[in-house]
Amino acid sequence: MTCPIAADILSQFTEKSLVGEDLQVMIIKVSDILDEGLTIDRATLPDFLFSDAAWRLDSVRLRFERDDLDVLVQGEIRATVPQVCGRCLEPFGAHVTAGVDVRLAPRPTTGDNVELAPDDLDVAFYQKDEIDLDVLIETETTLALPMKPLCRAECLGLCPTCGGNRNIVACGCRDRAPDPRLAVLRDLAARRSR
């Protein structure tokens, strides 16, 4: 169930960006999150823009719940992000789905040098009773990007001899013989597999 005041909370805040353009800044005040929580979806968001204009937010559904001073955020973000295939080097739009499960805590006031415990690595921080929704969405989307993006699972990649894209052109190059300097490793692998 979407909180009826979600749109009101988000629509109250605009700031001047560092580059001098008027941008909608989506801030959620922690004190405005009711006991029953707050749900944000694509319908309640104003036009969202990533810092890279080529990125596109397709859908978002986030649930904010208070746990004393901490805020638990759960949901899903879907976006389309331009990537370059790790095999054939062709650009393509990667469809990214980010499952969000984050605990936000108030930023410690003890200074910059704080020792983290293992459980603290799953915690993000907010300041001044405000959660920047822009930062949250962009961070979670970035973390969901693939380490080696592929235009498709069956991508054939580039020919190691001529450099042609094997998805487009069937080149007539022969497979290169393995580098003779690596023969020692091939022999070692053969001995270990016995």
**pLDDT (tens digit, 0 to 9) for every residue of the chain, 194 residues total?**
444 444 444 444 333 333 334 445 578 888 788 888 888 887 666 666 777 888 888 888 989 888 888 888 899 999 999 999 999 999 999 999 999 888 887 777 766 666 766 766 677 777 788 888 888 888 899 999 999 999 999 999 998 888 889 999 888 887 777 788 888 888 888 888 77
Region for residue 26 given its phi and psi (left: phi exceeds 0; alpha: psi -120 to 50; beta: otherwise): beta
Instruction: Say if residues 140 and 100 touch (Cβ distance below 8 Å).
Output: yes
Residue 146 DSSP label: -
Residue 171: partners with Cβ closer than 8 Å, 6 or more residues away: 159, 161, 162, 164
Radius of gyration of the chain (CA): 24
Claim: this prediction has a pTM higher than 0.85? no
The domain segmentation of the chain, as residue ranges, is 6-155, 156-194
- Please state, in angstroms and rounded to a whole number, the distance separating the CA atoms of residues 181 and 22: 59
- Please state, in angstroms and rounded to a whole number, the distance separating the CA atoms of residues 171 and 156: 12
Instruction: Say if residues 2 and 75 touch (Cβ distance below 8 Å).
Output: no
- Please state, in angstroms and rounded to a whole number, the distance separating the CA atoms of residues 9 and 111: 30
